[in-house]
C-alpha cells in the first residue's frame, strides 16, 4: 500500500508518497511525469513518521539550511540504470551543478563502457521520482544552460538560487 500527504512549499504544493517506511515519491504540482508510473492507489495518511521527517527536512531546506539526504529513508522505484543516475545526483553538493555529459561519463565508467548517451542520462534525471531531495535540479546543459526540469525551468532556477544563497552565506 502507498500513502500520500501534501506539503506547501515556496515552489508550490508537493505531494509526498511513501510505502509506509520509505519516501518513494516527492512530486511538484503539474510536473512532467507526475506519479511517474505508480500504479497503486494512494491513501491519504498525514501522520507517518517518514512524512513528518520529510516535512521537517523540507522546512529546513527552504530556510536555507543544508539537510542531508541520508536523514530521509528514500526508496525511488526504477531500473538499474536510473538507480545509478539517481545515486550520482545524491552526491552533488549544495550550490554546485553537474552536466548531463559528466554524469554520462561517470555511468559509462561504472558500466565499463566506452561512452554513454547524455540523452539517456537526461531521461533518467527527468524521471527522478523524489524531486528536491534527490537534487535533479542541479543538473545543467553542457553550456551551463538550465535545460530540462520536470518541475519547470522557473522552479529549477528558484531552487538553484536558494542553494546558491545558502552557500554564499
CA–CA dist 152, 150 (Å, integer): 6
Distance of CA 76 to the CA centre of its chain: 10
Cβ contact 14:66 at 8 Å: no
Q: How far apart are CA 65 and CA 143, in angstroms?
A: 29
- Residue 136 bears catalytic tag: yes
Would residue 30 be called left, alpha or beta, if left means φ above 0 and alpha means ψ between -120 and 50 degrees? left
Q: Which of 121, 133, 136, 160 is catalytic?
A: 136
128 and 134 Cβ atoms separated by less than 8 Å = yes
Q: Round to whole Å and give the CA distance between 92 and 9.
A: 22
Contacts of 34 (CB under 8 A, 6+ apart): 27
Q: Which residues are catalytic?
A: 136
Amino acid at each position: 500500500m502507498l500513502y500520500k500527504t501534501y506539503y506547501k512549499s515556496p515552489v508550490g504544493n508537493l505531494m509526498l508518497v511513501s510505502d509506509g517506511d520509505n519516501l518513494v515519491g516527492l512530486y511538484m504540482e503539474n510536473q512532467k511525469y507526475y506519479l511517474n508510473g505508480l500504479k497503486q492507489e494512494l491513501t491519504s495518511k498525514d501522520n507517518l513518521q517518514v512524512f513528518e521527517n520529510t516535512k521537517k527536512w523540507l522546512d529546513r531546506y527552504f530556510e536555507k539550511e543544508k539537510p542531508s539526504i541520508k536523514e530521509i529513508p528514500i526508496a525511488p522505484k526504477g531500473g538499474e540504470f536510473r538507480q545509478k543516475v539517481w545515486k550520482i545526483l545524491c552526491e552533488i553538493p549544495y550550490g554546485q551543478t553537474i552536466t548531463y555529459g559528466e554524469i554520462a561519463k561517470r555511468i559509462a565508467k561504472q558500466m565499463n563502457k566506452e561512452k554513454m548517451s547524455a540523452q539517456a542520462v537526461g531521461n533518467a534525471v527527468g524521471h527522478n521520482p523524489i524531486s528536491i531531495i534527490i537534487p535533479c535540479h542541479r543538473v545543467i546543459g553542457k553550456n551551463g544552460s538550465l535545460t530540462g526540469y520536470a518541475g519547470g525551468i522557473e522552479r529549477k532556477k528558484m531552487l538553484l538560487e536558494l542553494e546558491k544563497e545558502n552557500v554564499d552565506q
